[in-house]
Structure 1
Amino acid sequence: MSQPVEATSPSSPVTADDLDRAVQLAVATLREAPAQAWEGKAGSLEWDCWETVEHLSDDLFAYAAQLGPRTPPLDGEVPFVWESRRPGGPANAIHADRAAGPAGLLQVLEASGALLVAMVRVTPAHVRSYHGYGVSDPEGFAAMGVVETLVHTRDLAEGLQLAWTPPADLCARVLARLFPDAPQGADPWGTLLWATGRGELPGHPRLTTWRWDGTPRS
């Protein structure tokens, strides 16, 4: 497992270090899964665990790609071809070689995360690029990558029967960045699960539809 990263304030910006921390924690957790478990469903998703890691890897890759052009697009995605390997499967540009096994799959996840970490580090804060939930900045794409990593690792942990509770400060920062209207005062991880339609939150109806707000906060 990677060395722990010193936590920062929940009110501070989401950084490349936060994203790297989330990905490394996820990879370390998923390495504990037995090889035969990857064909099972990932929590409530319709995808199996292998497909879900491919989807997460694809999310991280796609966010990195949005920040890649010298003039990032403001009206659409960089036009990679996304395609599903089966009816009902996730439409990805990124697919892992099944012959490489789970270790290879997690290398794909780690490498995709590293691409986004690198792009967030080197992209000036004033840069904007398209996302369907709002034209965003490098911090926003880092926060999106963290949310995708935390919640999809939870889906995977359910399917793989692993324990997964991410750091509260990490959850609090991405809630502040992407879900500014989320209820305050409750456990940040529980609130993030509620905000992404994956859990109950006392005093609030369970969400059947949801989206974050990726637009810059300033």
Structure 2
Amino acid sequence: MSRSLETGPVLSPVTADDVALAVRLAVGVLRDAPPQGWDGKAGSLEWDCWETVEHLANDLLYYSVQLGPQSPPLDTHVPFALTQKRPDGPAYFLCAERAAGPVGLVQVLEACGALLAAMVRTTPPQVRAHHASGVSDPEGFAAMGVVETLVHTHDAAEGLGLAWAPPSALCSRALTRLFPQAPGGADPWLTLLWATGRADLPGHPRPAMWRWHSTPRS
């Protein structure tokens, strides 16, 4: 059964509970990672596993703060200063204490996920805030947080040698919200990996560049 917006059933929206679920599952798998593997490459990325999870925590916090002001800016992001630890590394505005080790890094991820879930849960649905892919609403930021969590946990898990397969229903809701053009009929998790340039999908060339649609659906 197709899950596309044009031909498939209408799925329930992406919610704060979805953010919390995605982060809880990610924390559950990353918590069991061997401590010696975090400096290794994260899947197909040019970042190591530590950088990738730290980037994910930054994403979740970044989305939460966009919804924070009473009147969020629509033409630019809330101006937290971004920096880089190395030229080819991810940009960030928070970092985890290295001395706390992977356990501390996962706690930072868990805390940032909780902040996004709380902001999505308490922000009125009519609120709009800036995103580079289009001004978005709380559901959009929730969906972006879910996708970031699912695919970057995939990257880190691949580098760390861990199994990672998130729930199909969660993937379907995120796909429908952010990738309405994605083909239906295939496994939702594989389709999400394809939509973000991380996997091949039979019958569909892998996108060389990808972008989601963060604008509200209605």
In structure 1, what residue type is equivalent to 2:143? Answer: A
TM-score (norm 2): 0.95
TM-score (norm 1): 0.95
Task: Measure the CA separation in 2 of the matches of 1:107 and 1:88.
Answer: 25
Instruction: Classify 1:168/1:10 alpha carbon distance in 2 versus 1 (closer, same or farther; 3 Å).
Output: farther
Aligned partner of 1:135 in structure 2 is: 135
Unaligned segments of structure 1, at least 5 residues: 1-8
Task: Measure the CA separation in 1 of the matches of 2:180 and 2:210.
Answer: 13
In structure 1, what residue type is equivalent to 2:85? Answer: R
Q: Once the two structures are aligned, what percentage of the paired residues are identical?
A: 70
Aligned partner of 2:57 in structure 1 is: 57
Aligned partner of 1:189 in structure 2 is: 189
Aligned partner of 1:43 in structure 2 is: 43
Task: Measure the CA separation in 2 of the matches of 1:213 and 1:86.
Answer: 30
In structure 2, what residue type is equivalent to 1:79? Answer: P
Unaligned segments of structure 2, at least 5 residues: 1-8
In structure 1, what residue type is equivalent to 2:47? Answer: W
In structure 1, what residue type is equivalent to 2:172? Answer: A
Report if aligned partners of 1:10, 1:170 keep a CA contact under 8 Å in 2. Answer: no
Task: Measure the CA separation in 1 of the matches of 2:87 and 2:148.
Answer: 23
Aligned partner of 1:3 in structure 2 is: none
Q: Secondary structure at the match of 1:54?
A: helix
CA RMSD, Structure 1 to Structure 2 (Å): 1.0
Structure 1 stretches of 4+ moved >3 Å? none
Aligned partner of 2:86 in structure 1 is: 86
Q: Secondary structure at the match of 1:71?
A: coil
Task: Measure the CA separation in 2 of the matches of 1:167 and 1:11.
Answer: 15
In structure 2, what residue type is equivalent to 1:28? Answer: G
Q: Secondary structure at the match of 2:38?
A: helix
Task: Measure the CA separation in 2 of the matches of 1:13 and 1:186.
Answer: 20
Aligned partner of 1:4 in structure 2 is: none
In structure 2, what residue type is equivalent to 1:186? Answer: A
Aligned partner of 2:21 in structure 1 is: 21
Task: Measure the CA separation in 1 of the matches of 2:17 and 2:174.
Answer: 13
Q: Secondary structure at the match of 1:164?
A: coil
CA shift for structure 1 position 94: 1.4
Aligned partner of 1:106 in structure 2 is: 106
